[in-house]
Structure 1
Amino acid sequence: MSKEAIVARIEKKPLSMTINGKKIGPIDVPVGMPMIDFLHHYLNLTGTHFGCGEGVCHACTVVEVKSDGSMVDTRTCIANAHSFDGKTIITIEGQAKTDASGNVTQLTPIQTAFIEKFSFQCGYCTSGFIAGATAFIDRLKREPVKRADLETAIEEALNDHICRCTGYVRYYEAVRDVALATPGCVIGQEDKR
């Protein structure tokens, strides 16, 4: 069977969503294609990394914006691209503000804190940590925690993210600093950094 015949037999369905503030689609995408492959091969958004391929390491995590505006972190290596049809997501490329030329004009508080704390080493897991931390800070804005419970809340929120370089302490410190600096995230805080 020729390559063209094989390609012709692959079932495709249209897919539309909003990614990094831009409407995408409809694009005919193979049924069963993992979302990370769609991001990489159809949109050239390669900042979201493929790690384990089993949804365990969370390197492939992006931010999903729900219809009520709340954010959750979602893995893309185990999610079918069509499961995102009609949804809104933010990849690492869409986190910072950019000008018309694509130059970064302003980093997010999470990105800034990660740089200031030098939270990453090889950087492979960083985009997933940024997505997880972004969703966590968003949740804290709606459901603040007591200052005494902040460390535990950070650990629970980011516990599933794997960093092979063992940079956890600096990631957690950066997230803690952002939570403490963001009004409404922490109840009864005295600065105990």
Structure 2
Amino acid sequence: MSLSTKPLSLTVNGKTVGPIDVPESMMMQDFLHEYLNLTGARLGCGQGICHACTIAVEHEDGTLDERRTCITGAHWFDGRHVRTVEGIAERDEEGAIAMLSPVQKAFIEHFSFQCGYCTPGFVIGATVLIDRLRREPVAREQLEDVITEALDRHICRCTGYVRYFEAVRDVVLRTPGLVIG
């Protein structure tokens, strides 16, 4: 018995990947780890509940959306552009990190994580939120609710929620045009 495969092509962190023959039943989590050696999206619950495996999908209109890789097959991403946590920071020509994103910097400044296992999912969630706020700024009095809604589905076993929340709030408040009033 052999696994049934089909070609998969997509863009990951700005680089074209494929076509690569990939088992039809393979989850994106496994494809990222086994085929691309991108291990930032973590397998936590394996049921799509904890969001440690989250990556960002870049739509044709430039907007970002979260997608859990442990419950989404790799072939769902065929033809799409995705960004993993490894693609959030700016890199130089050799691929070395040149500058962390504002979210990553804020997480470090706030000591947001303890074990760090959930951090990639939180980075993606916060990055998607900031992308949304660039297009749809929020009133200052609604900011806490908006951040809570965006991060609420991400689970941290070390109880780092307050620090993640504070870091995201700081990034949003320091970034011009995301908050009204």
Classify the TM-score, shorter chain: over 0.9
Aligned residue for 1:73? 66
Q: CA deviation at 1:156?
A: 0.4
1:109-148 map, 5 Å: 109-148=102-141
TM-score (norm 1): 0.92
| Alignment of 1:106 onto 2:122 | no
| Partner Cα separation in structure 2 for residue 82 and residue 67 of structure 1 | 18
- Structure 2 match to 1:13: 6
SS of the counterpart of 1:53?
coil
Segment of structure 1 superposing worse, 17-26 or 90-99: 90-99
Residue 181 of structure 1 deviates from its aligned partner by: 1.1
Whether 1:157 and 2:150 are equivalent positions in the alignment is yes
Deviation beyond 4 Å, 4+ runs, structure 1: none
Amino acid at match of 1:180: L
Matched, 1:47 2:40: yes
**TM-aligned CA deviation for residue 180 of structure 1:** 0.7
Q: Name the SS of the counterpart of 1:37 in structure 2.
A: helix
DSSP-derived class of the 1:140 partner: helix
Structure 1, unmatched stretches of 5+, are: 1-5, 189-193
Aligned to 1:58: 51
Deviation of 1:32 (Å): 1.2
In structure 2, the residue matched to 1:168 is 161
Task: Measure how far apart 1:100 and its partner are.
Answer: 2.4
Report SS of the residue matched to 1:172: helix
Query: What is the percent sequence identity of the aligned residues?
Result: 62
Structure 2: distance between partners of 1:138 and 1:96: 15
Q: Which residue identity is paired with 1:57? A: C
CA RMSD after TM alignment: 0.7
Q: Compute the TM-score of the two structures, normalised by the length of structure 2.
A: 0.98
How far apart in 1 are the matches of 2:65 and 2:24? 24
What displacement does 1:102 show? 2.4
Gaps of 5+ in 2: none
**Cα distance in 2 between the residues matched to 1:145 and 1:36:** 33
Q: Does residue 33 of structure 1 match 2:29? A: no
Pairwise CA distance, 1:184: 1.3
- Give the count of matched residue pairs: 181
Worse-superposed segment, 97-106 or 76-85:
97-106
